[in-house]
Amino acid sequence: MAAVAKFPPWIRRWGLGLAVMAWANLSSLRASDLPPACPRSAAVQDRPELARLLQPSLQSPGGEADYRDQILTTVAGSPRLSHWCVWIEPGSRQQRWQPAIGAALTRWQQVLPIEQVPNPDQAQVLVLHRRPPLVHREGRQRASHGRTTLTARYVNRGGQWRLEPSLVVMVDSSQRQEAIQATALHELGHAFGLWGHSLNQGDVMAASPGARPLLQLSPRDLATLNWVYRQPTGYGRFLTAAP
């Protein structure tokens, strides 16, 4: 019982088994040797070609427990880091913006090492309060309440260069608070490495939302995230010389 008590209530409701095992694996990432602070970038070299999304070759396709078969990788490997720095744009005229985004970020902080920072040049993830532009698909314009874009860049922080994924998360702040939170929870999932969609509407990363906003991660979301963070990647590695 003592071990179970360490988990937040939303984890305990899943019961033991897969959810506990995935939590333990992800929590071990907190032993990262990176400093706890997020240093500001001194120089940046954009390398968007390294962030081109690809379908991975799966040795073990996903089943009922996860949706790994729907997740893309990049030319440089899985777009993930062992420690994330996130900047949230202040100043929305909607008072529900900060509480909703903060609640969504807190959910992800329960399973990944994530630090909120005061300056955008400290962050790999920028969260902006704006409606995403229309997307033209199959001759039609499509609107959405959230969107995340990915690129890659070499960043010099504290005198050391490394390859980082760079994310811009756009969330429409004109929605009601629960909808903002659910949209942010989904889009942050992309930002933290879940580049794909579940076919199950009970998952936060579902391709289309259900009737009610989802405000917590499902066991399948967590299991898929755990799988992503075990995949090879070139992101986060320090270079011995400038790129």
* 7 pLDDT above the threshold of 80: no
**pTM exceeds cut of 0.85:** no
Pairing of strands 125-129, 160-171: parallel
Domain architecture of the chain: domains with CATH: 2-134+141-228 (3.40.390.10)
Q: What is the pLDDT of residue 132?
A: 86
Q: What is the pLDDT of residue 42?
A: 95
Instruction: List, in sequence order, the alpha helices (H) in the chain.
Output: 2-5, 9-12, 18-27, 97-109, 177-191, 219-228
Q: What is the pLDDT of residue 142?
A: 66
pLDDT digits (tens, 9 = 90+) for 166-222: 999 999 999 999 999 999 999 999 999 999 999 999 999 998 877 789 999 999 999
pLDDT digits (tens, 9 = 90+) for 36-94: 479 999 999 999 999 999 998 787 776 789 999 999 999 999 999 999 999 999 988 88
Pairing of strands 53-54, 73-74: antiparallel
The residue among 227, 169, 193, 156 whose CA lies nearest residue 76 is: 193
Least confident window among 2-6, 113-117, 126-130, 167-171: 2-6
* 23 pLDDT above the threshold of 60: no
Q: What is the pLDDT of residue 60?
A: 73
pLDDT band at 136 (very low <50, low <70, confident <90, very high): low
Q: Which amino acid is at 214?
A: L
Dihedral sign (CA 144, 100, 170, 151)? negative
Q: What is the pLDDT of residue 143?
A: 62
Pairing of strands 84-88, 114-116: parallel
Q: What is the pLDDT of residue 144?
A: 83
* 8 pLDDT above the threshold of 80: no
Pairing of strands 125-129, 84-88: parallel
SS3 51: helix
Q: What is the pLDDT of residue 141?
A: 54
